[in-house]
Structure 1
Amino acid sequence: MAASFPRALAALLLSLATLGVLAQSEPAAPRKVLRYAFLVGETGFDPAQLSDLYSRYLTAHIFDGLYKYDHLARPYKIKPNVADGMPEVSADYRTWTVRLQKGIYFADDPAFGGKKRELVAEDFVYSFKRFFDPATKSPLYSTLKDEGILGLDELRQRALKSKKPFDYDLPVEGLRALDRYTLQLRLAEARPRLLYTLAIGDVMVAVAREVMEAYPGKSMEHPVGTGPFVLKQWRRSSRMVFERNPNFRELYYDAEPNADDAEGQAQLARFKGRRLPMLDAVEVAIIEEGQPRWLSFLRREFDLLFLLPEEYADIAIPHGRIAPHLAKQGIRAHSMASPDRTLFYFNMEDPVVGGYTPAKVALRRAIGLATDVGREIRQVRRGQAVLAQSVVAPLTWGYDADFKSENSDFDPARAMALLDIYGYLDRDGDGWREQPDGTPLLIEYASSPDSRSRPFEELWQKDLARIGIRIKVKSAQWPEQLKASRAGQLMVWQLGYAAATPDSQLGFELLYGPAAGGQNLGRFRNAQYDAAYDAMRRLPDGPERLAQLHELQRLTLAYMPQKYRVHRIVNDLTQPWVLGFRRPAFGTSFWSYVDINPAGRPAP
């Protein structure tokens, strides 16, 4: 036996060596990377400073909110995210207590001194306070202020009055960490729908104070969160690369699709129990022009065509179904009626289109009546939209598909009659109207220098030329227009707003007086409107609250500070190797639920 031991040892060593060679030659698993493009550039990554939708699609995957929307449930279902269960709510809806899960960690960052940093309740206290810090200049300040968290706005006013830095260490009655993992919010008035705010998982999220203080003035470019992805590369308004967060918690695929949702049920059966995220990385490019985005997808450079350019709807989805030549390639179409609205707002402080006198109201109403939104839907949007009657979006509370208002009327004759009555006449015979005081009447319309914007410019110029009003297009990149808009420097601007929650209240905030300069970019102020808004906010859902909604719709039509155009039908296309994609109805998070089949993707 002693003689055979060296031979046995040699055989064992040879076997181990062979296994080592095999292990070294085993090819690494191909990385699963989702590649797609935005049509608008991002503004940055600081949740408290964002209002634009595309930046929020990014922060939703870097940071974590307390609650989230089930990605397959329709119309919606809110579930815990980093919260440990649903909130405990007092009978009067004024005290909300949320417990956090333990063992959730931020992505690594030098600000943490080489230590793992756990998410705690105090992080949400700090993060929510940031919306009230005047130095943050948060466009969503008014949204959180409306919730009436006791003591928070007083802290802001103290900083403004003293002209000293905002005191984050000063306790406030309405926002406290009861212990390491328990957050409590106390409100001045009943807020039956506060849960919707807590579920806005792209901005109402947790950031770490150490990070904010370690990189002063750089919060928009240095995001560190607890979410599934981390930012690895960034060329502003050009390209971003996100990779799986190695510190991300154990989270497994689960969902509650409707029983009659065949696609959702199939996705649940396929992925249930898989660890999230399933992707290794996501690469996002910025391509503003529709044609190169479309061609890049056809060349298989992108896995997802996120928001099919409307000019290609007839080619890609004729009659609402994927074109046969695309279907043969395995390309899939994903369509949904979006809970959004497009609109143009009038700057109510502008000397030409702003103001509340009968003549100024008549001018805005005439412009609204002269705008042929039906032609816009047919020619520019290729039928992928429906006429908007008010700011209330499909799938949100209070939306009535049978509701009809003057907002959707196209009546150039009535528009010209209004202008004639209120003194907007062509005094010099050049074919263009002047203002009642004889000065030129010129509408300055903010737009962007891309092919997607030009058809809207041309249609609107024709619409208003029909009634004798000239338009001058003021063109700039979208982030620059947003900056100018917040400063009150634009006369008229067209925007799209997606509903962040299943409630319509945030849509009406776009005209709420205290939100002027924030969400209320047009700076509309009306005491009657604000009173109805406040009442709607306090009331539980029901007939009384619906009456306030109707009052807000009536006042909006009467003063016409905004012209609502369409609710869009959004269409996305995916390559055959993309699995599990579904655009969120509410919220902006979807990367974690997408998988890539590397075997089906062609080699580059």
Structure 2
Amino acid sequence: MHRQLSNLVSIKKVLIGQMLVLAAFAGSVPSAHAGTNPADPTKVIRNAFEAADDGFDMVRTQNFYSGWVSEVIFETLLTYDYLARPAKLVTETAEAMPEISEDGKTYTFHIKKGIYFSPDLAFKGVRRELTAEDYIYTFKRVLDPKNRSPSANFIAGKIVGLDELAAQAQKTGHFNYETPIAGLQAPDRYTLKVVLNAKDYNFLNVVAYSAFGAVAHEAIDAYGQQTGQHPVGTGPYMLEKYVPRSKIILAANPEYRGFTWDFKSSGDAIDQKIIKDMQGKRMPQVGRVEISIIEENQSRWLAFQGKQIDFDKIPEVAAFSAIDGEKLKPDYAEQGIQLQRVIDAGITYTVLNMKDPVIGGYTNDKIALRRAITMAYNNKEEATLLRSGQATKLEMIIAPGVGGYDPKYRSSIDYNPALANKLLDHFGYKRGADGYRTMPDGSPLLLKYTSNQGGINQEVSELWKRGLDLIGIKTKFIVSNFADNLKAATSCELMMWGAAWNADYPEAENFLQLLYGPNAGHGNHGCYQSPAYDALYVKAMALPLGPERNQIYQQMNRQVEADTAWALNTGRIRNWLVRPWVKGFKKHPILHAEWQYIDVDKH
């Protein structure tokens, strides 16, 4: 969710440019417009990310941490209710939920008037209002071939005329943004009409995804390849300072219109306290967000204990020191810290590259090798020991709590080194004098497993090594930062990669598209291409949400197991600790950024 400034000089230029933007803006518009954002600049929230972002151009990345920040810089037509569980779509820049034609193919959105982009030199001192054309431009950017958007699969093949325009750009090397298409129309300044090729039961979830947050063409033209370091949106915050892989500071966008906190209880026990603290306040209250990149669990945990972080999830390795069952231990409860336990709407897994010359391919011997590798990994031990019981063994590709998840489903592949050894013996992967196996043709067999820095990744690698040693497979373990690994995985360059995926919207399609063949080179990080799986995917997408579609989802899971395209790891339980001066915090299953919904007492 990988553009980086090459040196400190570039960073300074961006920061100086932003200061000039504010100065230019302040002198070019009436002061009556400058104070619409109710945020208090003296109210500061301090957070830490456990891995680095990849810039903030969400058309060009699916980096989780980039998305976290981008949610408050860019605005989508729709978003999710802050308190509602399960997740419920609501409007963001749209006046109301869209009008949908009888055949389910045409969506008409009416955009709120008086929404303005944050002040920026790209607008040459003129206030820039959000219009329907900005969303048309944003949708087109996602399919512009030069952007190689990992989110292209969200709309590829769906909008009338858009794929044809992208195909023409592929041939000519130039995407003509001025070319009108029937699928994206602006009948007037504030009306957006989207016409689909076929009915899409998840389209409203798609438009709520951060890649479809409105951008202005002037800003993209001005910053080009550096757009990710200079995001310009209409959201409640804007980027004030950015030191890649170290520090992110957000300040209130002076043009943001604000809103009144008015959410209804979902029935959760914490909702009543949140409503009591927050109801009726003008939002956002927080005027500044300071984010540090701290990849090491112990360092991040010490920062929270030292009150340098206002809320964070407990690293799994520290769980036993802070919680007892589902309650905080007295040392933490006496500080007024609040504990929120949340089952992640996400999964962890290991990508197996289907194009790799060693483990890739669809012949029986290659499938047997991948199956044996998968059976050597003890994901129960990951859940109980490495994650201190704060996780569950995964059975499905679909995360718990997401539409299409079946709690009764059981994977056909389980931890079984003895059976894995028999499988390798049968297909000719013989052991050499050193005890390690060779390929059936006698050539060396060496796996390369890539992990991210920090977290429990080292422990996961050690667990993999113990299992693979049991079946006689030599493995080289490579450690790199998350942003670089994501970039390499997107190009299907990593043999094995320990990855995770959190729901972008609360339906199984969001997970199953990660293995859809046409998404290879985008979100399909293992370049899995199965005609049987792809046919099931297309069939499922044509059905309404419900039991019949869910049954096909199960067949898709079985097909992935048959080909052994992934090794499933765990679903995580997150234990969020919140300092007493933070008001209104509730972790959302889809949204990541809480800053615009919370308040902080001065302390």
Shift in Å at residue 571 of structure 1? 1.5
Shift in Å at residue 299 of structure 1? 0.9
Deviations 1:252-300 (A, max 9, x none): 1111222x32311221232122111110100000000011111111111
Gaps of 5+ in 2: 1-39
Work out which of the residue numbers 40, 53, 74 in structure 2 matches 1:42. 53
Structural mapping, 1:91-490, within 5 Å = 91-146=102-157, 148-163=158-173, 165-200=174-209, 202-258=210-266, 260-305=267-312, 307-407=313-413, 409-426=414-431, 428-450=432-454, 452-490=456-494
| Contact 2:106-2:196 within 8 A present in 1 as well | yes
The whole-number CA distance in structure 2 between the counterparts of 1:315 and 1:346 is 35
The whole-number CA distance in structure 1 between the counterparts of 2:202 and 2:298 is 42
Shift in Å at residue 35 of structure 1? 0.3
The whole-number CA distance in structure 2 between the counterparts of 1:502 and 1:488 is 26
- The match for 1:522 is 526
Amino acid at match of 1:461: K
| Contact 2:491-2:522 within 8 A present in 1 as well | no
Shift in Å at residue 417 of structure 1? 1.1
Gaps of 5+ in 1: 1-28
What TM-score results when the alignment is normalised by the length of structure 2?
A: 0.92
- The match for 1:538 is 542
The whole-number CA distance in structure 1 between the counterparts of 2:476 and 2:316 is 25
- Secondary structure at the counterpart of residue 283 of structure 2: coil
Q: Is 1:33 matched with 2:44?
A: yes
The whole-number CA distance in structure 1 between the counterparts of 2:41 and 2:259 is 22
Deviations 1:102-127 (A, max 9, x none): 11111001111211111110000000
The share of aligned pairs that are identical, in percent, is 39
Shift in Å at residue 589 of structure 1? 3.1
The whole-number CA distance in structure 1 between the counterparts of 2:351 and 2:467 is 17
The whole-number CA distance in structure 1 between the counterparts of 2:412 and 2:328 is 35
The whole-number CA distance in structure 2 between the counterparts of 1:280 and 1:449 is 31
- The match for 2:19 is none
- The match for 1:87 is 98
Amino acid at match of 1:318: D
Deviations 1:442-463 (A, max 9, x none): 1100113436311011111001
- The match for 2:75 is 64
- The match for 1:25 is none
| Contact 1:32-1:279 within 8 A present in 2 as well | yes
Shift in Å at residue 475 of structure 1? 1.8
The whole-number CA distance in structure 1 between the counterparts of 2:91 and 2:141 is 23
What TM-score results when the alignment is normalised by the length of structure 1?
A: 0.92
| Contact 1:350-1:491 within 8 A present in 2 as well | yes
Deviating more after overlay: 313-322 vs 382-391: 313-322
Q: Is 1:584 matched with 2:588?
A: yes
The whole-number CA distance in structure 2 between the counterparts of 1:387 and 1:445 is 21
- Secondary structure at the counterpart of residue 166 of structure 2: helix
C-alpha distance 403-281 of structure 1, shift in aligned 2 (>3 A):
same
Amino acid at match of 1:348: M
Deviating more after overlay: 379-388 vs 545-554: 545-554
Deviating more after overlay: 575-584 vs 99-108: 575-584
The whole-number CA distance in structure 1 between the counterparts of 2:336 and 2:258 is 33
Amino acid at match of 1:153: D
C-alpha distance 449-395 of structure 1, shift in aligned 2 (>3 A):
closer
| Contact 1:34-1:283 within 8 A present in 2 as well | yes
Deviations 1:153-185 (A, max 9, x none): 11111011123x110000111111121111111
| Contact 2:50-2:294 within 8 A present in 1 as well | yes
| Contact 1:60-1:203 within 8 A present in 2 as well | no
- Secondary structure at the counterpart of residue 439 of structure 1: coil
Shift in Å at residue 30 of structure 1? 7.8
Amino acid at match of 2:244: R
- The match for 1:18 is none
The whole-number CA distance in structure 2 between the counterparts of 1:388 and 1:125 is 39
- The match for 2:6 is none
- Secondary structure at the counterpart of residue 262 of structure 1: coil
| Contact 2:41-2:286 within 8 A present in 1 as well | no
Amino acid at match of 1:433: R
The whole-number CA distance in structure 2 between the counterparts of 1:290 and 1:300 is 16
The whole-number CA distance in structure 2 between the counterparts of 1:90 and 1:565 is 42
CA RMSD of aligned residues (A): 1.2
- Structure 1 ranges of 4+ moved more than 6 A: none
| Contact 1:346-1:492 within 8 A present in 2 as well | yes
- Secondary structure at the counterpart of residue 155 of structure 2: helix
| Contact 2:340-2:576 within 8 A present in 1 as well | yes
| Contact 1:126-1:209 within 8 A present in 2 as well | yes
| Contact 2:159-2:197 within 8 A present in 1 as well | yes
Amino acid at match of 2:240: K
- The match for 2:568 is 564
Shift in Å at residue 89 of structure 1? 0.9
| Contact 2:274-2:585 within 8 A present in 1 as well | no
The whole-number CA distance in structure 2 between the counterparts of 1:442 and 1:320 is 43
Shift in Å at residue 488 of structure 1? 2.2
Deviations 1:370-396 (A, max 9, x none): 111111112110011111111111111
- The match for 2:29 is none
The whole-number CA distance in structure 1 between the counterparts of 2:201 and 2:454 is 43
Larger radius of gyration: 1
Deviations 1:406-458 (A, max 9, x none): 24x111111111111111111x3211111111111111001134363110111
How many pairs align?
A: 564
The whole-number CA distance in structure 1 between the counterparts of 2:102 and 2:197 is 14
Shift in Å at residue 218 of structure 1? 1.2
| Contact 1:74-1:257 within 8 A present in 2 as well | no
Amino acid at match of 1:333: L
Deviating more after overlay: 545-554 vs 73-82: 545-554
The whole-number CA distance in structure 2 between the counterparts of 1:411 and 1:76 is 37
- The match for 2:64 is 53
